[in-house]
């Protein structure tokens, strides 16, 4: 919801930017905790796969919020970077679907 909101807003107040930084900090902590669990816990393949996807989602959220904060993401403009990101996301989704079937 945050990423969607910030994509459609052109400018941010200092308070909003500080909120972005706080969210990023919390997500980075969560990401680090999940990575540590992935490396150290005795997980089944299914549990490890689920945790890996959760970490990837957190990483994407961090990157998107950082890009929003700096004004690099703007889906209202149809430029090559946006199209490339969409294509990349589609390829990842197709890849994940095929991995899940095996």
Q: How far apart are CA 102 and CA 97, in angstroms?
A: 9
Residue 78 dihedral angles phi and psi, to the nearest 5°: -95, 90
For 73, residues 6+ apart whose C-beta sits below 8 A from its C-beta are 3, 6, 7, 64, 67
| Cβ neighbours of residue 56 closer than 8 Å, sequence gap 6 or more | none
**What does the angle CA 69 – CA 63 – CA 87 come to, to the nearest 5 degrees?**
115
pTM (2 d.p.): 0.64
Per-residue pLDDT of the chain (102 residues), as tens digits, is 777 777 777 778 889 888 889 999 999 999 999 999 988 999 898 999 899 999 999 999 888 888 887 766 554 445 666 677 777 787 877 777 777 665
Q: What distances in angstroms separate CA 84 from CA 23, 63, 80, 81, 89, one per listed residue?
A: 26, 15, 6, 5, 9
């Amino acid at each position: 919801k945050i990423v969607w909101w910030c994509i459609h807003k052109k400018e941010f107040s200092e308070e909003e930017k500080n909120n972005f930084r706080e969210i990023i900090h919390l997500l980075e902590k969560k990401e680090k905790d999940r990575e540590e669990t992935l490396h150290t816990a005795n997980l089944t393949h299914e549990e490890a796969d689920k945790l890996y996807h959760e970490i990837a989602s957190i990483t994407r959220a961090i990157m998107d919020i950082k890009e929003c904060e700096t004004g690099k993401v703007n889906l209202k403009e149809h430029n090559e970077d946006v199209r490339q990101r969409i294509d990349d996301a589609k390829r990842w989704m197709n890849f994940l679907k095929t991995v899940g079937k095996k």
